[in-house]
């Protein structure tokens, strides 16, 4: 189903390595702007260190808020990488080739950004070492593995390191190509990183197996990560959080937002790097069809959570759902979330014309992620603002403070900066994978028509 384009290896090298070797002006501008936004986030974190969390809009029962929402959101985005590369590698989907690495890179930076949020969100970040690692043998102070907040770092650490290694393994052949194509210090750097890879038959065989094997190994991690994140909430007996369907619900939601984010990223890459020959409407078509399946599965779990949450007829549970849907300010957010998160994507992506229109795909996938961000907010925030009926806890207004907004913006800047820098130094589109597609493509003559085909091992 790939559009057939004849791409000579030389052209592929030039196109995909250009940005790594030459630095256009816009790169500096973008890097500086993003850096400034990130700096603002850094400053506000320092302010939080000095003045404490009084700067946030939290209250005595609204102890978690936007920062945790943002954490869950970025963990969700980070599921793009494995979703795309692992599943598409395992199913040998031909259109994966240009997409995989960008998705994996997005994974790594999104996950790293996400991981910072619970840490800066603690009351005393300087004591975080107590939390994440059993190091204080002298005083016998260890983390308590019974806490979901211990499962969480372990899962995120596993996922982060695994996907980083995954990227590197798949990057080695391209580093070798970059080594051969570059000169001076670049050549030294790439040569060192490429470990002397030369592309012998053995090396390629292992490279191919590695793609499949690592995908198969990372998939279970990928599922476990967001499940465990969801258990940060589901383990609590707080009404609205204590729902057993959270793990698959969170995972599929993560896939929804993640794959949408990949679509957005592909559109951006295509524009700024002029990759018209590599990222074609076919890819957005395929992504869109994948997303159609994902978004409807997501709807199923969303309905499960809601129907059976309300079906309990537990007054507190009902109160939470009433708050989520009918009360200020959620009565505004909920429709917005559902329209942007489900109706708009579903309504647009069912049409092939729309799926093949990159501009529309860019905007709709962006909108879908607005919806998914709000989804997390609506899951997390109301549940704690009205836990149990005490007069002391009439629903307090959670006034979002500017500093929280700055931190959220900074997280977006950080992820974009990370991806940009990676793309600056390394090929963000796997060269050897594209070349393989060129080698393996075949055609089968059926009557008059030549049906495009591909070699399968």
Partner 1 sequence: MATTAGGALLGLFQDPVKVADAIDSLREAGFDGSTLKTYTDTPYPEGAFGEDPENHRLYVFPFMGALCGFSVGLLITIGTQMAYPLVTGGKPILSIPPMINVMYEGTMLGAILFTVLGIIFESRLPNFSKAPYDPRISEGYIGLLVSRAEGKADVAERAMRAAGAVDIVTQPGSGR
Partner 2 sequence: MTETAHHHTVHTPAEATRDLLNRLTVTGGGLLAIILLAILAVAGAVRLILLAMPEPEPPTSWGYAVAILAFLMSTAQAAPILAFATRLAKGYWGIPLRRAADLLGLSGLVTTPLFIIILFQLPDFHGRTSTWNDWPYAPHLYDAVAICLLTITNLAIIWLTSVPDLAAARDTRGSRLASFLAMGWTGTKRRWNILTTGTILLGSFYLMWFVYVHMYLASDLAMALVPGWHSSIFPAYHAVSSLQAGAAATLLTLLILRRLAGLERYVGVDPFWGASKLLLGTSLLFFYFTWSEFIPMWYGRLPYEMNVLGVLMFGPFLPLFGLSFVLNFVLPFALLIWNPIRKSIMGPTFVAMLILTGNFIDRVRIYLSSWSVAGPVGMSIEVWPPIRPPALGDLAIIVGALSALMLLYLLALRVVPPVSLWEHKSALLLTVERRFIKTEVAVVAKPR
Partner 3 sequence: MAEVAPAPGTVQNPAGEETHQWGMVIDIDRCTGCQACVIACQSENNIPINDERSFVQHRAKEWIRIERYWEGTFPNVKARFLPVLCQHCQNAPCEPVCPVYAIYHSSDGLNVQVYNRCVGTRYCGNNCQWNVRFFNFSENEWPEPLGSQLNPDVTVRTKGLIEKCTFCIHRIQRGKRTEKRNGQPLRDGDIQPACAQACPSDAIVFGDWKDSNSRINRLARDPRHYELLGELGAEPVVVYLKKVDPNAVETAAAQRH
Q: Could you list the residues that contact partner 2 (CB under 8 A)? A: 1, 91, 220, 223, 227, 231, 234-237, 242-248, 300-301, 304-305, 307-313, 442-444, 446, 451-457
Partner that binds at residue 131, options partner 1, partner 2, partner 3, none, CB closer than 5 to 8 Å by kind: partner 3
Task: State yes or no: residue 352 binds partner 1 (CB under 8 A).
Answer: no
User: Which of partner 3, partner 1, partner 2, none lies near 180, with the C-beta cut-off 5 to 8 A by kind?
Assistant: partner 1
438 scored as a contact of partner 3 (CB under 8 A): no
Nearest to 255 by CA among 103, 42, 359, 57: 103
d(CA 225, CA 244) in angstroms, rounded, equals: 16
Question: Using CB under 8 A, which of the segments 49-57, 81-89, 324-332, 352-360 binds partner 3?
Answer: 49-57
Least distance to partner 2, CB of residue 366, Å = 27
Verify binding: residue 220, partner 1, rule CB under 8 A. yes
Task: Write down the H helix ranges in 182-245.
Answer: 184-194, 201-234
Q: CA distances (Å), 242 to each of 233, 298, 380, 418, in order?
A: 7, 19, 11, 35
Question: Rounded to whole angstroms, how far apart are CA atoms 17 and 38?
Answer: 28
Q: Alpha-carbon distance 364 to 206, whole Å?
A: 39
- Of residues 309 and 430, the one with the C-beta less far from partner 3: 309
Q: Which does 194 bind (CB under 5 to 8 A by kind): partner 2, partner 3, partner 1, none?
A: partner 1
Task: Single out the residue of 40, 87, 236, 310 in contact with partner 3 (rule: CB under 8 A).
Answer: 236
Q: State the Rg of the chain over Cα.
A: 23
Residue 200 contact, options partner 1, partner 3, partner 2, none, Cβ 5-8 Å cut-off depending on partner type: partner 1
Respond yes or no on whether the N-terminal peptide bond of residue 329 is cis (omega within 30° of 0): yes
Q: Would you count residue 235 as binding partner 3 (CB under 8 A)?
A: yes
Q: Closer CB to partner 2, residue 3 or residue 180?
A: 3
Residues near partner 3 (CB under 8 A), total: 45
Q: Is 432 in the site for partner 1 (CB under 8 A)?
A: yes
What is the SS3 assignment for 444?
A: strand
386/191 Cα distance (integer angstroms): 58
- Residues with Cβ < 8 Å from 161, sequence gap 6 or more? none
Distance CA 60, CA 118 (A): 18
Per CB under 8 A, contacts with partner 1 among 177-216 are 177, 179-181, 187-188, 191-192, 194-210, 213-214
Nearest distance, CB of residue 55 and partner 3, angstroms: 9
Closest CA to 14 of 449, 434, 455, 454: 434
Pick what 232 binds: partner 3, partner 2, partner 1, none; C-beta below 5 to 8 Å, kind-dependent. partner 3
Q: Quick check: 379 and 333 in contact, CB under 8 A? A: no
The residues near 343 (Cβ < 8 Å, ≥ 6 apart) are none
Binding site for partner 3 (CB under 8 A): 51-54, 56, 58-64, 118, 121-125, 127-128, 130-131, 141-144, 146-150, 232, 235-238, 241, 384, 387-388, 390-393, 396
């Amino acid at each position: 189903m790939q559009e057939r384009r004849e791409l000579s290896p030389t052209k592929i090298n030039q196109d995909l390595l250009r940005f790594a070797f030459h630095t256009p002006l816009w790169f500096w501008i973008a890097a500086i702007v993003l850096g400034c936004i990130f700096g603002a986030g850094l400053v506000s974190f320092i302010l939080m260190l000095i003045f404490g969390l009084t700067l946030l809009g939290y209250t005595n029962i609204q102890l978690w808020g936007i920062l945790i929402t943002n954490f869950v959101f970025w963990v969700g985005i980070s599921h793009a990488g494995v979703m795309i590369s692992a599943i598409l590698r395992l199913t040998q989907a031909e259109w994966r080739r240009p997409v995989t690495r960008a998705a994996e890179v997005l994974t790594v930076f999104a996950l790293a950004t996400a991981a910072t949020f619970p840490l800066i969100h603690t009351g005393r970040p300087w004591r975080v070492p107590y939390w994440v690692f059993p190091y204080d043998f002298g005083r016998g102070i260890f983390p308590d593995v019974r806490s979901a907040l211990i499962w969480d770092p372990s899962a995120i650490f596993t996922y982060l390191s695994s996907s980083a290694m995954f990227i590197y393994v798949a990057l080695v052949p391209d580093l070798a190509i970059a080594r051969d194509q570059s000169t001076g210090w670049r050549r030294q750097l790439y040569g060192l990183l490429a470990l002397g890879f030369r592309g012998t038959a053995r090396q390629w065989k292992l490279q191919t197996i590695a793609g499949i094997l690592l995908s198969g190994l990372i998939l279970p991690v990928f599922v476990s990560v967001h499940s465990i994140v969801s258990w940060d909430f589901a383990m609590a007996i707080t009404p609205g959080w204590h729902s057993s369907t959270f793990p698959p619900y969170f995972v599929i939601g993560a896939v929804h937002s993640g794959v949408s984010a990949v679509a957005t990223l592909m559109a951006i890459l295509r524009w700024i790097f002029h990759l018209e020959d590599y990222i074609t409407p076919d890819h957005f078509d395929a992504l869109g069809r994948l997303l159609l399946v994902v978004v409807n599965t997501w709807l199923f779990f969303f309905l499960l959570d809601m129907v059976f949450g309300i079906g309990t007829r537990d007054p507190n549970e009902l109160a939470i759902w009433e708050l989520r849907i009918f009360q200020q300010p959620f009565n505004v957010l909920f429709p917005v979330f559902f329209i942007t998160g489900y109706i708009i994507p579903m309504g647009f992506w069912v049409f092939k014309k729309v799926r093949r229109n990159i501009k529309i795909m860019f905007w709709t996938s962006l909108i879908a992620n607005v919806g998914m961000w709000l989804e997390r907010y609506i899951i997390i925030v109301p549940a704690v603002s009205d836990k149990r009926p005490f007069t002391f806890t009439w629903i307090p207004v959670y006034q979002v403070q500017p500093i929280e907004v700055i931190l959220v913006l900074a997280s977006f800047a950080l992820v974009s900066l990370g991806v940009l820098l990676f793309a600056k130094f390394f090929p963000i589109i796997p060269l050897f994978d594209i070349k393989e597609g060129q080698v393996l493509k075949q055609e089968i003559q059926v009557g008059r028509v030549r049906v495009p085909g591909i070699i399968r091992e």
